[in-house]
Amino acid sequence: MRQTTGLREPELVERLGDVDALVVRSETKVTAKVLDAAPRLAVVGRAGVGVDNIDVPAATARGVYVVNAPLGNIVAAAEHAITLALAVMRRVVDADRSIRAGEWTRSKFIGNELRGKTLGLVGIGRVGTEVARRAAVFGMTIVAHDPFATEASARAAGARLVELDELLRTADVVSVHVPLTEKTRGLMGEASLAKMKKSAIVVNTSRGEVVDLPALADALAGGRLSGAGLDVFPQEPLPADSPVRGAPRTVLTPHIAGSTVEAQTNVAVDVVEQILDVLDGKPARFAVNAPRPPAEEAGGPAWIRCGERLGSLVAQLLDERPARLDITYAGSLLELDAEPLRAAVVKGLLETFSEQRVNLVNALAVARSRGLDISERREADAQRYNALLTVAVGKTEVGGTLVQGEPRVVFIDGFWVDVPVEGHLLLTKHQDKPGLVGRVGTLLGEHDVNISSMQVGRLHPRGEALMILTLDDDVPDAVRAKIRSFSDITAVRTARLGNID
């Protein structure tokens, strides 16, 4: 592990040739050039929430996870938003400067209380929700605007959802908690600020580009707005000629909303745990460019592994590269988000054929680039099981479920089976006749291929059957050819599931 700070792009590029994971804060820019310089890179961890400094599309195209820590500093950020609101409304900074200058002019610093005021939250996600809960303790009325929030989620946070115009007209404190997008860039500009009360204040702890600083400074100087508390800025550090530096009734802090001892610890732990998961081949909890895995209590990691193994198995049973993939979710599997399962199946399928790195980050993008048609169905009946995930390509179909929390292959080409998802497999289709199983076992033994388990599925006695042997070793090509030559054996396939040393 190498720890460095303050590196610019050329210096950073020189150090990434053998790096598997990269952890950055807000000042380090992870560009496409940086990513190209790190061929082994599997994951970029942002020790914080925002990932504006990371080229996420470039990382996704390269199959590099981008993870952040959206929960680690939400309390710190929420408390700082309240702190800024209080500092502006009670004129704390001005009063401090005055007393340090030897003055004692109490009448100059008569402030306003939060109690009885209306808080307008532009964005009521994780941080906005925490701000709402704290504002309620001060006796504030809370309204919120968020196109992605539901009435129920807002109500649970103690807020009422309104249109943005109503929020701007009625709020005494407007606190901004939105990500930076093309729609939110400059959101708090001249037009929005003009709709606010003259007695209102603006607080921004989200992204600097959301607030138009020249427009804000002009509104403050002209008395059209009462004050502002800002922790983030379009350009950081804040330039000396920034108009907001000289604006009256402002409290400015240097992007420290998430900077508490407790938050730093939480963020570090969250990011490191995710990096270790990615390097261990597990999905990340808070990947910004990969589907979020189902919850642990719903068997999430096990279902992801099941999907990957089913995709891998069906790919290894094919004679040609797939053009169409059919996925069926059945039974209680309908309660889970299909997106991570879909990505897991596609990952398992494509990594069999592709020399390109394929993982949950870029699996669907790689599928689109290869023209793979993906079709999905949802069925209430999971037949023999509580839940069943089925993957089909052409006439080849496999299914899996969780047995006591562990993934198992339970269906292959019309036969119900019970097969582990780790190890070497030998599959034969044959006519169910006495002696055939023994001949295959004897041949494998003669070539020192150890059988760990065996089962035979059949549709009816002495009819077509499927034999599946789980082996400790790979089957040599010569042995496989010999098995194929046995009378009554119509097909032989081998497969390798999981990471086998």
Catalytic positions are 207, 236, 255
Pairing label, strands 373-379, 324-331: parallel
What φ, ψ does residue 88 adopt, rounded to 5°? -70, -45
Indicate left, alpha or beta for 123 from its phi (over 0: left) and psi (-120 to 50: alpha).
left
Q: Pull the structure tokens for residue 44.
A: 């970029």
Contact (CB, 8 A) for 267 and 258: yes
Distance CA 469, CA 476 (A): 14
Three-state secondary-structure class, residue 450: coil
- Full 3-state SS string of 402-425: EECCEEEEEEECCEEEEEECCEEE
Distance CA 396, CA 248 (A): 71
Q: How far apart are the first and last CA of the chain?
A: 25
* Cross-strand bridge partners of residue 396: 393
Q: How many CB atoms lie within 10 A of CB 25?
A: 12
Q: Pull the structure tokens for residue 175.
A: 């606190």
Residue 380: closest CA among 333, 330, 335 = 330
Q: Pull the structure tokens for residue 447.
A: 């070539």
Indicate left, alpha or beta for 233 from its phi (over 0: left) and psi (-120 to 50: alpha).
beta
- C-alpha distances (whole Å) from 388 to each of 97, 294, 329 are 67, 15, 6
Q: Pull the structure tokens for residue 233.
A: 């800025």
